[in-house]
């Protein structure tokens, strides 16, 4: 079941984070403390937020290698945003207004 969720969350990180938030709200609230940061994470950096929640350990936080994975996930999110904006210009008839 864990492998199925890992594949699912890798393809749909927003939905994976939402499922974790519904199934284990204590995990998300321990990682962030407020509901606004995970909500902003779902909107803007879903994969990085998902990795942060999965790697967070209460009382300890994140170690050096954990930050490496969060930063790598944030770079993947940023490249996704950049690729979607450049591909938008290739649509015939699309005008930037």
| pTM summary value | 0.83
* Alpha carbons 95 and 78: distance in angstroms, whole number: 23
* Alpha carbons 74 and 49: distance in angstroms, whole number: 8
Residue 96: pLDDT band by 50, 70, 90 thresholds? low
Going from the C-alpha of 8 to that of each of 35, 91, 95, the distances in angstroms are 23, 29, 34
Residue 83: pLDDT band by 50, 70, 90 thresholds? confident
* Alpha carbons 67 and 94: distance in angstroms, whole number: 39
Q: Where are the domains of the chain?
A: 2-82
pLDDT tens column, 23-57: 999 999 999 989 999 999 999 999 999 999 999 99
Q: Which residues pair with 38 in a beta bridge?
A: none
Tokens 């207004």 sit on residue:
97
**What pLDDT is attached to residue 97?**
63
**What pLDDT is attached to residue 89?**
67
């Amino acid at each position: 079941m864990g492998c199925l969720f890992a594949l699912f969350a890798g393809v749909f990180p927003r939905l994976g984070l939402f499922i974790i938030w519904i199934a284990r709200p204590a995990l998300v609230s321990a990682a962030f403390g407020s509901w606004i940061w995970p909500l902003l994470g779902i909107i803007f950096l879903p994969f990085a937020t998902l990795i942060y929640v999965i790697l967070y350990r209460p009382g300890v936080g994140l170690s050096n290698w954990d930050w490496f994975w969060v930063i790598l996930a944030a770079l993947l999110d940023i490249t996704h945003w950049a690729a979607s904006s450049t591909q938008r210009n290739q649509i015939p008839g699309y005008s930037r207004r």
